[in-house]
Amino acid sequence: MKKMNCEKLSLNERLNILKMILYFDESGLKLSDIAGTMEIPKADVRKDLEIMSEELKKDGIKLIYENYKGYKLTGNKGDLLVKRVGIIENIIRELKETGDFFNSEDSGTWHSEEYFYGYIKYENLEITRDFLELIGKELELEIHQENYNRVFSYILMLINFEELYDNKEELLTRNFLFHTPEYLAVERILGKLFKENDRKESPKKAKLLLITDLIMGINISGLKDDIFYKWINEEAVTEGIIDKVSDMINLNLREDKILITGFIDNLKFSIYRIKNDIQIINSVFKDLILNKDKNIEIVKKAVEETEKEFKINFTEYELAAMAYLVRASIKRTKRNNIKKVLLICGLGYGSSKILEESLKENYELDIVDVIPYYLADDLIPAYKEVDFILSTIEIHRQFEVSYGIPIIKINPVMQKEDFEKLAEYGIEKNKTSVSLKKLISIIENNTEIKDRHKLIDSLKNEFEDRIINDIQKTGYTLKKLLKKENVKFIDEAENWKEAIFQSGDLLVSNKKVTSEYVQEMIELVEKHGPYIVLEEGIAMPHAGISENVLETGISLLVVNEKVSLPEGRNANIFLSFAAKNKNDNIDIMNDLFELITKYEFIDKVSKMKNYSQLETYLEEIIK
């Protein structure tokens, strides 16, 4: 950079120069260097920095000094991003007004904008311009004229500054955009432009995801005015939602990093699912909906402004997913020293429901989230602050090494060995669980209950995981569904496919499912392994809720000799089920969980030879 005469620079121009250095030069601003370049005393530069520091404070950004590095900026990542875009946008506006924007020739006179061209490569200006033209035509992207400079500035910043926002965090929070039509178009067009400009490197994935994310926002709501900045700064949106939740429940959740990260990681993914009519399937979230969890209504009110700004409506499931995060945060905030756990379960929602109920009954844990195993590799890095990962399947050990989070493999229906394993990690069983059935009985014996259902709901909401919901009689659901025509006893099966086929055929013959449903059950085991084995001796073949399910039903096949499944798993009880809706599925799983853990279901049923023995077993439990 050539020497300059400070007399030709206004205060605004000098501040622009300082901002370009501070926001875009990671090596920092050295007082002597900039004073020498501007040919002004260091004291004058200090005065300019003081003026700028006061301005920065209003935006929550601090100007700090580090030995040997000089002056640097610190603050919220999203706030810094917004300011960087704003600086580029303002300078571009000034350049356009002078007509010098796409003029790379040296005019012979010095302007503060020369610092802009010192940091921005001219070819990147052209790449950004051509990219917006091409992507606009291909995706029929409507960028409002008053918003064009802002969009241009954001994409220019991502393309020009290679190190900025090129990290795993950006990949993680937006990896759902991989393979979308928008991402593929961005990757192809930008890659072509890089080659045409003789760029040896390809566009980095994190940058491609951020650009795709912006395009998704433009398609959804147009991102006019300040909505643009809210879209690229989801941290600010998240903080606003959490602020509202905290005020409504009169409890400060603002410092809960797990809650903040959870909202940030899920906000855009949730909007994408809504835009593309993708529904999440999770029995835990469905439970909250069925039980009318109060946090759903709280979240619903807290996101109203976000819905209006982004022109979306969060579905009941998406609200329940956010409510689950809030619910866990409330527990963390109220109770100290509770172990934070990430729960990973096999395909389907059956095993996750059984394991969650078992953990709630036996331990006082903060179950931060429940995720399916096929997303484990992508999502685990977002949960670096959990104490343990509990999984019903084997998880890659690199996460244990990378993040120091112990991964504990346990059975969906917890056994003695699982309790011992958890104890080795310092996770002790909860001794304060209370039977809801006994609690209601005590209340009934001492006072008149006006509304029994309302009382039960109030107790469940108040005591949450510390209460065991044992109101419904165990065995009732299975006895109602397991009629004689749905049960079969055989000596042996040729292989696991034959066993699933026979148990599934009972559902077909009783007009509960189509033959395609049975084939799907077999294919799922071929694809995902023996996830249907809850524990040694019992398997629960099932497929998803679809048009192949004609009516909710279950069937029971008892094989005298155990059948081998993949990965060395064995079972002689095949309890196949098909649920018309998720509510029916939850009832079945709750009932089975109680029977397995408290009434020796596996041991008793595996020895049965006929239906009357099964009927007697269930009737004795229901009494």
DSSP string, 288-349: HHHTT-HHHHHHHHHTHHHHHHHT----HHHHHHHHHHHHHHHHHHHSSSPEEEEEEE-SSS
Closest residue by Cα to residue 408 from 386, 429, 428, 393: 393
User: Coil, helix or strand for 438?
Assistant: helix
- pLDDT by residue (tens digit) across 251-291? 899 888 889 888 988 888 888 888 888 776 666 777 788 77
CATH topology of domain 233-334: PTS-regulatory domain, PRD (1.10.1790)
What per-residue confidence (pLDDT) applies to 200? 81
Question: Where are the domains positioned within the chain?
Answer: 6-119, 122-232, 233-334, 338-418, 434-468, 476-622
- pLDDT by residue (tens digit) across 150-173? 899 999 988 888 777 766 665 667
pLDDT-derived band at 100, boundaries 50, 70, 90: low
∠ CA 86-87-88, rounded to 5°: 95
pLDDT-derived band at 117, boundaries 50, 70, 90: low
92: how many CB neighbours lie within 10 A of its CB?
20
Using the Cα atoms of residue 212, residue 217, residue 220 and residue 224 in order, give the sign of their dihedral: negative
Under 8 Å CB-to-CB from 41, ≥6 apart: which residues? 35
- pLDDT by residue (tens digit) across 469-493? 666 667 778 888 889 999 999 999 9
- pLDDT by residue (tens digit) across 296-333? 999 999 999 999 999 899 999 899 999 999 988 888 88
Question: What mean pLDDT is reported for the chain?
Answer: 82
Do residues 293 and 379 touch, judged by C-beta distance below 8 A?
A: no
- pLDDT by residue (tens digit) across 446-458? 888 888 777 877 7
Whether the full predicted model's pTM is greater than 0.85, yes or no, is no
* Backbone dihedral angles phi then psi of residue 336, each to the nearest 5 degrees: -90, 160
174: how many CB neighbours lie within 10 A of its CB?
22
The predicted model gives 578-585 an average pLDDT of: 69
- pLDDT by residue (tens digit) across 194-223? 999 888 888 888 889 999 999 998 988 888
The predicted model gives 524-543 an average pLDDT of: 83
Q: How far is CA 530 from the centre of its chain?
A: 26
Q: Which segment of 225-234, 315-324, 428-437 scores lowest on mean pLDDT? A: 428-437
CATH topology of domain 6-119: Arc Repressor Mutant, subunit A (1.10.10)
Closest residue by Cα to residue 132 from 160, 104, 153, 161: 153
Strand partners, 539: 533, 574
Do residues 588 and 477 touch, judged by C-beta distance below 8 A?
A: yes
> Right CATH number for 338-418 from 3.10.50.40, 3.40.630.30, 3.40.50.1220, 3.40.50.2300?
3.40.50.2300
Closest residue by Cα to residue 326 from 345, 349, 300, 304: 300
Closest residue by Cα to residue 348 from 93, 205, 569, 541: 541
Strands 407-409 and 388-391: parallel
Tell me the percentage of the chain whose pLDDT exceeds 90. Answer: 25
Token pair for residue 520?
Answer: 């799907």
What per-residue confidence (pLDDT) applies to 7? 52
End-to-end CA distance of the chain: 90
The predicted model gives 386-400 an average pLDDT of: 75
Using the Cα atoms of residue 468, residue 471, residue 475 and residue 477 in order, give the sign of their dihedral: negative
Do residues 539 and 470 touch, judged by C-beta distance below 8 A?
A: no
How is residue 562 annotated by DSSP?
Answer: E
CATH topology of domain 476-622: Mannitol-specific EII; Chain A (3.40.930)
Strand partners, 407: 389
Measure the CA–CA gap between 496 and 479, rounded to whole angstroms: 26
Measure the CA–CA gap between 538 and 8, rounded to whole angstroms: 84
Measure the CA–CA gap between 550 and 511, rounded to whole angstroms: 7
pLDDT-derived band at 517, boundaries 50, 70, 90: very high
CA distances from 239 to 53, 59, 235, 267, 306 (A): 24, 15, 6, 12, 12
User: Coil, helix or strand for 489?
Assistant: strand
Count the alpha carbons within 13 Å of 57 in the hemisphere toward its beta carbon.
7
Strand partners, 558: 489, 573
